Structure 1
């Protein structure tokens, strides 16, 4: 179910944000959001500790795994390179990789800082 929602959300963003000026905005957006959310989910133990592990795995691997897309990134990049859109291709790679890393760091930071409340011990 999580994979269905993640993949469906990615598809809808692709419909809402079509490729404009040769730049695949929807793919960039889903990969950046997915990077930040997956990093947050994997470091928010104080929140996710109350969940069954299947929920975290379902959200991470199923939902966010289906939402993000390396294969579409690769296909978009291949198309840009075939059209010799070198600058756009370089910008696409840079935004995706550097932006993904920055949003991953932001996800880790927010999980550790904003969600750092104590987990109540069960009696």
Structure 2
């Protein structure tokens, strides 16, 4: 029950933060900057959380599940990412669609890698598992 409650609370916070960032970050030249930022931050944060949980058993499971599934799950926007890409393609904005895909996918991989490295460094472990 603690996990469900943590997901509920963190999901509310993650979804609210996603909405707020979407409102305050301008969309320049039709490029969905707020969604890119949200996806990149979410990629790094989810990687950090999942790796941190593997590195330490000190965190309560409800905290890790709540933040990961609830908070980051509600914060990130893969379904919105897909729909935004389709919308750009329907408008025949090939360059923007390609840039959006490249920045989001490659940036997400970079941010996930940084999240893993950051978690390992936090606990004083080598950046790469032996």
Shared fold, TM over 0.5 = yes
Shift of 1:75: 1.3
Counterpart of 1:5?
A: 13
Q: Deviations over 1:46-83 (max 9, x none)?
A: 77522210110000000000000111111111111011
Contact 1:46-1:116 within 8 A present in 2 as well: no
Number of residue pairs aligned between Structure 1 and Structure 2: 117
Q: Give unpaired runs (5+ residues) of structure 2.
A: 1-8, 126-130
- CA-atom RMSD in angstroms: 1.5
TM-score by length of 1: 0.89
Find 1:15's aligned residue among 23, 32, 42: 23
Alignment partners' CA distance in 1, 2:70 and 2:53: 18
Alignment partners' CA distance in 2, 1:47 and 1:19: 38
- What's the secondary structure of 2:31's corresponding residue? coil
TM-score by length of 2: 0.84
Structure with more of its chain in helix, by fraction: 2
Contact 2:53-2:59 within 8 A present in 1 as well: no
